[in-house]
Structure 1
Amino acid sequence: MDQIKQILHQLSLRKSLVLYVSVFAVIALVLSIGTSLLCNNATSNIKNSYPPTGEKYYLTNENGEQLGEGTYIGGETSPLSMLDERLVSIYELVPIIATPLYSALSIIIAALLFYKNKLRKPLLALRAASEKITTSDLNFTVDYSSEDELGQLCASFEIMRITLANNFSEMWRQAEERKQLNAAFAHDLRTPLTVLKGYDEMLQTSNDAITKEIAITMGKQIFRLERYVDSMSRLQRLEDAQPEYREISLPEFLYSLAENVDMLCSQNGKQLLLQKNTTSMSFIVDRSFISQVSYNLISNALRYAVSTITLTFEEKHNGLLLSVSDDGKGFGKNTIQQATNPYFTEEKNHSEHFGLGLYLCKMLCEHHGGYLKLENLSVGAKVMAFFKTPPL
């Protein structure tokens, strides 16, 4: 029996389907013939239970005496009762109905058994594997051994999983190496920069005008390098940061955030328009993540806004959506897709801005389970930052 099951398990899907349909078609045919024979037999028994009618004839001997029981001439029988007539009609109708019914049931049962024995297990395995891959979980195996088409598909899926796992491991290793290299680079630069800064300050006290002018130019470049090293260190810290979810009073937090942003806009001569579309009294988020993203987006908008900045808070899809729009020139058509890349900026003066603001916002949003989206408006640009609340 086990050997037969193994042979059936290794059959291709096409052969298995043909086998299931053929077996149950034979079963349907046998049942149809059996039902027809039983109904015919029952009909005959009912009709034979009624005596024949007509004139009865007897054989006689030479003395005129009757011999035997006699016999009826003709094939007519006594009329059937109403109940027996209905039974005979039913018995004659049953074979006509039974044949298509048996055929339909056989097809349904064959399909169900085919799904259960050949499709269900590999499909469940592939579905579970797909769900794990979507969550970046590759710590599993696709366990289904068969030589049929789905078995080959599961084997290919397992090869893909192993390849993805190896690629992710390599990417993680390279990312860790890059982080270590950046950290070492930023650390090692601080000492020579400190020395150069000291010598530059000495040169700026020189009485020679040319030397003093060169020292001032050097000082600006040293300051830029210091800012660059600081940005690398900050980037390293934020890349490793994970949100610390806490329940906060949403109205109080948004009021405090809006108050600080309004003060920042007033100091830069810009008008802040605030829109709140929230109803919850409490929210589970990392307030430091939201605060950092808010200040970064507002600071970015202040550099490009002509007169007005709009800040919007909205509850959406089990999270908080923060939108910042300005009435400036908007993003360039060729740069909107690159604006969130690290160290990308359209500004010519890199001494103050290294192009990390939007990249850091995107990274913090993604760590918080959300996203950062950029778009141009008819006037100005809009940046949307979404922070998803953790599942309970």
Structure 2
Amino acid sequence: MKKISNSLFWRLSLFFLIILLIISGVYIYTTHNSSLIYSQETSQKLNRPLAERVAKFTQPFINGSINEKEVEDLFHNVMVLNPSVEVYLLDKAGEILSYYAPFGQVKLDRIDLSPIHRFINDKEAFIKGEDPRNPGIQKIFSAASIENNEQIVGYIYIILASEEYTSVTDMLAHNYQIKLATKAVIITFLTAIIIGLIVIWFLTKNVNKISVAVNRFKQGDLKARIRLQSKGELSVLANNIDAMADTIVNNINEIRSVEKLRKELISNISHDLRTPLTSIQGYAETLVLLEEKLDKKTKIKYLNTILSSTQRVKKMVENLFEISKLEAHQVETKKETFSINELLSDMVMKFDLMAKSKSINFKINMAEDNTMVFADIALMERVFQNLLENALNHTQSGGTVLISIEKKHRSSIEITIKDTGVGISSEELPYIFDRYKKGAYGTHKGTGLGLAIVKKILELHKLDIKVESEMNVGTSFSFKLPVYS
């Protein structure tokens, strides 16, 4: 946890530091350039009339020739009075005719006149021109035309930022930038640390909560949850983790429930298989050992018992195979139209003998018309078989099992199978459709899978089944089937 906090702290602090350093650098650069442009434009505005005044008080040309002495003295005096300027005399084509500077310092022979013309014609423009001493560098200037008999014969061209002036300003600017950069770095670093600490405190507070809760959950505390009160991305993350934890806990509980059910299933199957198999083994051994001593009637009785037990084992295996296929979604419905009256009549005939043998009153109330339904007839036959077996097995002698068909709606009919048997307790009622849950039915023959199969088949048809029961009064199962139209 501490490692996470430290890692976040240094990474975010470094991030803020870099961002603020970049911002400081951009600010220093922008401020410096803005100040420089402001200073240059101000200087050009203030010194705009300078060249015009020089041109006014001098006569650089006498009879078409340059007055070298007067020009040199004037240029020298101007540069002495204002060391930040350099004065040049140009002819009307821009060629440099005269200047005051040591030999070799002036590198250009000609000046581009376009900026000079713009300067003279546009009194408000901020314009730079060529520096004769530094080719390729643009500097602020002042310029004025020299006229003779209203004809332009040349120009006074004054650079307002001389080499000496530039050298001094560059040195001062360099020192100023170092001081400004040093202050900016110190302020930026301190700001980054302070902001980093504040941000990290807010972030790691919730990150630590998330980390602690996840760690507790990992260690086995399945009730550990984050429950952040704040809003934002971390809150969304925390809610997603809590939802994931709830899903994991539900899955674990489901796995435990399935595992418990599996153990119960194996135990119950083992018990139910042991009884008929023991019976088969016992009677088979008796037949082998006492074959000569047993009469024919006794042998037939023993063989019938073996056959009955074998059929019971077969039915149990078939039920297990069927519920496995239903739960694995390997059974597909083959729906067709059929008469519900005919199907139930066949089922009554099939179970009539069983009902008579137990002295149970077995009745059916048919639909008024020959109602046609739409479903898988084979699967529906299996549903009725299991429900009727269940009803007959749990109804005592003298009781009643009633099948009724009632058309409550144009699109469906309701089928109810009701018995006057032992009933189901309210505690067991919610679990009777669970696989191998027999409850009170365990006192009767059966695999405990019949009702589970009924439930799965009806779910395949997207149908619900309702059950009502009262102890020692009876039980009724009812569901609806769609009418074919």
Q: Per the shorter chain, which TM-score range?
A: 0.3 to 0.5
TM-score by length of 2: 0.37
- Largest Rg, 1 or 2: 2
TM-score by length of 1: 0.44
